Chain A
Amino acid sequence: MDEIAQKLIERYHQNALSSEENQEFQRRINSDSDFAKEVQWHGLALEAIRLQGEKELRRRLTVKGKELDAKVPNRSTAFPWQWGLLLIVLLAMGLWSIDPKSTTKEPISPAAPTEKSLPLPPANPKPLDPIPSRPQAQTKPASIDGKKIFAAYFEPYRDASLEPSVRGSAAEKLSPQEYFQQLYWEGKYAAALSAFDSLSTFAQQDNTNLFLKANCLLHARQGNAAATILEGMLQIGHSRFVEQVPWYLALSYLQTGQIEKAKKTLNEIVERKGLRLENAAQLYAALK
């Protein structure tokens, strides 16, 4: 197929033929069966691309929707539910404290802590070490407070490869990508989150950028939105950070109080002997 024919076919599928081109197109499609077939194959190829593009766009919109929902909780329903839960917890605590059996016959733990003890936070992170130092041995808390444990374990991801090669301010002609990377490297996670929105569509789909965005979201305590991104990365499977993703996913679940899901994810890291094995084993034990 000659180049002019290809151009005609392409412009036909873009609905961009001029009237002259349209005449030529009609002449060729009625007289040249190879041309007519090529029009059909081109149309099918575009349809295949459209189907995949639509799938990816839908995924992006779903992520965006979840981010929006996470930012603006539905107050009209969230508050009554939370108050209800608080009431139940208070009632249960009240009943437990006046029931002598609960403390004499069947103690839950022989060394029940008198005050909530949580795993200690990791020491200040080494600049280039992505693995936070080991929290000290801990006693089990009476009830699991995912958010506090999360705060003790979460440290935004860092490694040497993330250090920007160019530095400056946004006004100094840094590209949006360089600016985003610099903000992340400098620990300005909220600003990095805003800068992510200025990245090109390509860059926003890049797995490294998505992984860093998930870390920024976790830092901003938007665990649901972070989990959505990380779950998507796990599904895709081929990413530079694929081995790190489960750990941060577990932390996302923890931050949003989904303890069972967090435990399941941590257990998978332990069983697979994946990266962050030690951290995962400790955190898993703390949650049990």
Chain B
Amino acid sequence: MSSNSNAETIINALQAGDSHVIEELYAHHREDFFRWASHRFEGTRQDFEDAWQDSIIAFYQQVNQGKLLQLRSEVRTWLYAVGYKRLLNNNRKMKRMLWKDQIDDALLAIELEKEDNDPEKVQALHTALQSMSAQCRELLIARYYQNQGIEEIQQGWNLKNANTTSATLARCLGRLKEFIKKTFSVFSNG
């Protein structure tokens, strides 16, 4: 997977909506990360799996939100550093073996936003999205999470043309916003 060693190629592919690349990235470095992490932590394979998935998802979202446009290190180093950070945060009791390598240096350069984990808000947002039709949900995820283009979505869902696709997306997003407005107005009034 020589192409995946190239950060720019990976970032460009993800920005173009090719989310398949993320699975390749996940598979390509997974075992190495497990081995590397097991030298630093006494954790289970599941602990390492969770951290690796968190890291891959963080990378995917950073790129898709336009927050990660280029890397100073290799993609692998970035992923390891984030996975390492997750292991530290999620498993404070996990025994850590102290050493230092380039991952620690990369860690200093990576700033991730703290996630808002207010369970009430998360539940309300989940309910709002579930109130949509399955097609609307899938379309919105394809467009706004997977960064897929209008043309690709049009083909994937057999929609009539680009205008119809854009209009459908706008209608779905509008409905979602309306539902959120109602829900959160109740919150703020209550």
Contact A49 B27 (CB under 8 A): no
Contact B57 A58 (CB under 8 A): yes
Contact B66 A14 (CB under 8 A): yes
CB nearest neighbor in B for A44: B180
Q: Does A97 contact B (CB under 8 A)?
A: no
CB nearest neighbor in A for B153: A202
Q: Does A95 contact B (CB under 8 A)?
A: no
Give A124 to B26 CA distance when docked, in angstroms: 40
Give A260 to B22 CA distance when docked, in angstroms: 36
CB nearest neighbor in B for A53: B145
Considering the complex, which residues of chain B in the window 162-183 have a beta carbon less than 8 Å from any beta carbon of chain A?
173, 176-177, 180-181
Interface size class of B (residues with CB under 8 A): 35 or more
Considering the complex, which residues of chain B in the window 93-128 have a beta carbon less than 8 Å from any beta carbon of chain A?
116, 122, 125-126, 128
Mostly, the B contact residues are helix
Of A59-67, A85-93, A224-232, the one with at least 4 CB within 8 A of chain B: A59-67
Q: Does B4 contact A (CB under 8 A)?
A: no
Q: Does A48 contact B (CB under 8 A)?
A: yes
Q: Which residue of B26, B134, B142, B148 contacts A61 across the interface (Cβ within 8 Å)? A: B26
Contact A60 B156 (CB under 8 A): no
Contact A65 B173 (CB under 8 A): no
Considering the complex, which residues of chain B in the window 41-95 have a beta carbon less than 8 Å from any beta carbon of chain A?
49, 53, 56-57, 60-61, 65-67
Give A45 to B141 CA distance when docked, in angstroms: 11
Contact B125 A51 (CB under 8 A): yes
Query: Least Cβ distance of B142 to chain A in Å?
Result: 7
Q: Does B11 contact A (CB under 8 A)?
A: no
> Which residues on A sit within 8 Å (CB–CB) of B128?
45, 48
Q: B132-157 vs A: 1/0 string, CB under 8 Å?
A: 00100100111011101000100011
Contact B27 A50 (CB under 8 A): no
Q: Which residue of B26, B61, B184 contacts A50 across the interface (Cβ within 8 Å)? A: B61
Give A41 to B140 CA distance when docked, in angstroms: 15
Contact A49 B145 (CB under 8 A): yes
Q: Does A112 contact B (CB under 8 A)?
A: no
Q: Which residue of B66, B126, B157, B181 contacts A51 across the interface (Cβ within 8 Å)? A: B126
Q: Which residue of A15, A48, A54, A201 contacts B57 across the interface (Cβ within 8 Å)? A: A54
Q: Which residue of B20, B49, B126 contacts A201 across the interface (Cβ within 8 Å)? A: B20
Contact A60 B23 (CB under 8 A): yes
A–B complex contacts, Cβ < 8 Å, 28 sampled: A13-B65, A14-B65, A15-B65, A15-B67, A41-B177, A41-B180, A44-B180, A47-B125, A48-B126, A48-B129, A51-B129, A52-B137, A53-B145, A54-B57, A54-B145, A57-B57, A60-B23, A61-B23, A61-B26, A64-B27, A65-B26, A65-B53, A68-B30, A200-B152, A201-B19, A202-B142, A204-B20, A238-B134
Q: Which 10 A-B pairs have the closest CB atoms?
A: A53-B145, A15-B66, A48-B125, A202-B156, A48-B129, A41-B177, A53-B141, A201-B19, A45-B176, A49-B144
4 new A-B contacts, CB < 8 A, other than A200-B20, A201-B19, are A44-B125, A44-B177, A48-B128, A201-B20
